[in-house]
Amino acid sequence: MAPSRFWCLVNARVDQGVGGIDASIGFETLREEDPGSAFNGFFAFFRYYVNARVSMADLVAFSVSMSIKNYSEPQIPVRGGRIDAIGPGPEGVLALETYLELTLVYFANARFNQVDSIRLAACGHTMGSVHHGGSPAVVGNQIVNPDNNSAGGIHFDATVDVFDEKVIHEYVNGTGNRCGPLLLHLINLRGVIFDYSRAMII
């Protein structure tokens, strides 16, 4: 659920009053930059909860708080009242091969500085997995196993259901899953950000 929120906000142009968490990703799922089934699955799940008082954009924001609170702390407050987009946001969501300098420009447009960008990348990978269905370029179909892994998922770290710093320790120490196949994909966005963060902060 966190990727849906990230992909929804990362193409924001705050100075122009464009984008943000507005559920515009729902109009963008056929773009090459949004591969896999993850986003369509997200909106299919939440569509039944949209009503006159709760927008899809609110549900995108709420989903992150809900997914973390289901398993662990912290409790993340959510403010409602977002207005749903009526069309797609700007093209150019970060792709797997986006290099670091351009990545930081995207984050800056959304009002994230370099430190915040690193924190977002780390926090966004502390829970959950990457799946073949949602990211076929990252997880090959050989991972899919109908007996115990029908979705073809690989965890980011050893504490998949806990919001903690384990993913960072595994990355820095070269142990465990090291952020899973996202990092092992040398052209992958998260790996580039983590390399930057290891040099600058961690």
Predicted TM-score (pTM) of this structure: 0.70
Expressed as residue numbers, the domain containing 24 is 2-69
What does 58-70 look like in DSSP terms, one character per residue?
HHHHHHHHHHHHT
Given pLDDT bands bounded at 50, 70 and 90, which one contains residue 161? confident
Residue 22 in any domain: the answer is yes
Given pLDDT bands bounded at 50, 70 and 90, which one contains residue 188? very low
CA 198-13-61 angle, to 5 degrees, is: 75
* Mean predicted lDDT score pLDDT of the chain: 77
Residues 55 and 128 in one domain: no
Residues 63 and 151 in one domain: no
The model's pLDDT over 71-93, given as tens digits with 9 standing for 90+, comes to: 666 777 888 899 999 998 877 66
Give the single-character DSSP code of 142.
G
pLDDT at 197 over 60: no
Residues 55 and 136 in one domain: no
Residues 51 and 133 in one domain: no
Residues 41 and 132 in one domain: no
